[in-house]
Amino acid sequence: MSVTRDNKKIRVLIVDDIQETRENLKKLLYFEDDIEIIGAASNGREGVEQTTALKPDIVLMDINMPGMDGIQASELISQQDPNVQVVMMSVQGEADYLRRSMLAGAREFLIKPFSSEELANSLRRVHQLAVTRRAAAPAPAPVAPPPDAEYVQYVPRKPQVGKIITLFSPKGGVGVSTLAVNLALALREETRARVALVDASLQFGDVGVLLNLPTSRTIADVVQAKGEPDEELMNGVLAAHSSGLKVLVAPPQPEMAELVTHEHLRAILTLFQKMFDYIVVDTGKAINDSLLTVFDLAEQIILVSTGEMSALKDAKLFFEVTQKLEYPPSKTLLILNRYDAKGDVKAKDIEAIIKHPITGIVPRDDKATALALTRGIPVVLTQRGIPFSQAVLAMARMLKREQAPAAAPASANKNNSAAPPAAPDSKPKKRFALFGRG
């Protein structure tokens, strides 16, 4: 089969065991001038073979297939040719599949059924990311830049560029939002710098509630405004908390989350890097392009887990993913939240299980967190002395130190030296005080 490398056409290989689905996919893409179906395979093995032969830009891969399934096939494809992007297709309710696919190297997931527009947009997005990533492929440099600069052109981060710290958990309800809000406030308190909090938990964001903020202006207003967001627009949309923290609240309705694309998020966050010294980002548990964009831009990803086995299992998977994404080990930190020294597995044992050091432990405090919820005032603001707050404040100090060396004054932000974000040998810092003491 002769295939011309037609300038800008996105060349797609379909892999699905059901002939009708293969035909439907072709029909869905029939009118897309910039997308070309260059082949179709009916199982994973054939898919791998055809990928080698045809070198598509993207493989549109079904998960469930007899013989070699989509996950195995994706793994092989990603290993053989990292330039080939895999877009996985799955049916609803297969959350575990999504995670496994990501581990196998898939770049995007489509939940069946999807429209032709969703499909085409998704293929374009994945292709565009791949092109950008290749363009930004690391040139050898004296100080190895992190190979994570795939969505943006890599510019060595100068100290005056705001530091993006994102908190995430693949498992819901472990306290990501609680810690994000408290950490942002703690950073503000510790640094007196310009701190922003972004609720990128777009569907069910509750940062506005945790801080008792008006939700009349949200991120949805930013994306609905014409043109690129600028400082003026942002100042009109950001909610001002009495602490001095500026907050970009999530859309008021879950369905509005779809309005916010990963491109919007990238534009917002890069603008915030100019407007703020620290940008704390709360995320939802959905693994998608938006999340990956936040991860890529972040200097520090804080994985939040509890000591429960199910959460730890997810945490372990997460670190395997970040390894595949080739993030430097120092970029990902693990925080144990809601830790109960009596009931939970010992921190040392947890480290052994998930093979990642624990950077910090925030103790369980049902009373303080519940009271904070009712009042709409986070714990660090009202009960600074309790172990929960001390642990969060210690976390803030640690994150602050990482950006500006302890010896440097706060005004080091104006300093123009182009220091790399982290020393090449930077190991995760020593665990901060357990329970805020000792």
- CA atoms 155, 156, 160, 165: torsion sign: positive
For ligand ATP, the binding residue among 178, 290, 305, 322 (CB under 6 A) is 178
List strand residue ranges (DSSP E) for 147-243, in order.
163-168, 195-200, 239-240
- Which of 40, 103, 120, 176 touches ligand ATP (CB under 6 A)? 176
Contacts of 37 (CB under 8 A, 6+ apart): 12, 13, 14, 25, 26, 29
Binding flag, residue 364, ligand ATP (CB under 6 A) = yes
The answer to whether 330 and 427 have CB atoms below 8 angstroms apart is yes
Q: How many helices (H) and strands (E) does the chain have?
A: 16, 13
Q: How far is CA 34 from CA 11, 14, 256, 422, in A?
A: 9, 16, 28, 41
N-terminal to C-terminal alpha carbon distance within the chain: 68
Nearest-angstrom CA–CA distance, 246 and 303: 23
User: Which residues lie below 8 Å from residue 112, measured CB to CB, with a gap of 6+?
Assistant: 89, 90, 91, 92
Per-residue string for binding with ligand ATP, 287-326, x by CB under 6 A? ----------------------------------------
Strand bridging mode 195-200 / 163-168: unpaired
CB of 212 to Mg ion, least distance (A): 16
Q: Does 175 bind ligand ATP (CB under 6 A)?
A: yes
Q: Residue 22 corresponds to which tokens in the numbers above?
A: 């293969």
177 binds Mg ion (CB under 5 A): yes
The least CB distance from residue 362 to ligand ATP, in Å, is 5
Q: Which of 321, 354, 362, 404 binds ligand ATP (CB under 6 A)?
A: 362
Among 322, 337, 359, 403, binds ligand ATP (CB under 6 A): 337
The DSSP code for 137 is: P
Nearer to Mg ion, 168 or 276 (CB): 168
Q: Select from ligand ATP, Mg ion, none the partner in contact with residue 311, using the beta carbon and a kind-dependent cut-off of 5 to 8 Å.
A: none
197-256 residues near ligand ATP, rule: CB under 6 A: 201
Under rule CB under 6 A, residue 432 binds ligand ATP: no
Residue 386 interacts with ligand ATP (CB under 6 A)?
no
By CB under 5 A, residue 306 contacts Mg ion: no
CB 109, min distance to ligand ATP, A: 19
Q: Is 281 in the site for ligand ATP (CB under 6 A)?
A: no
Binding residues (CB under 6 A) for ligand ATP: these are 169, 172-178, 201, 284-285, 337-338, 362, 364-366, 369, 373, 388
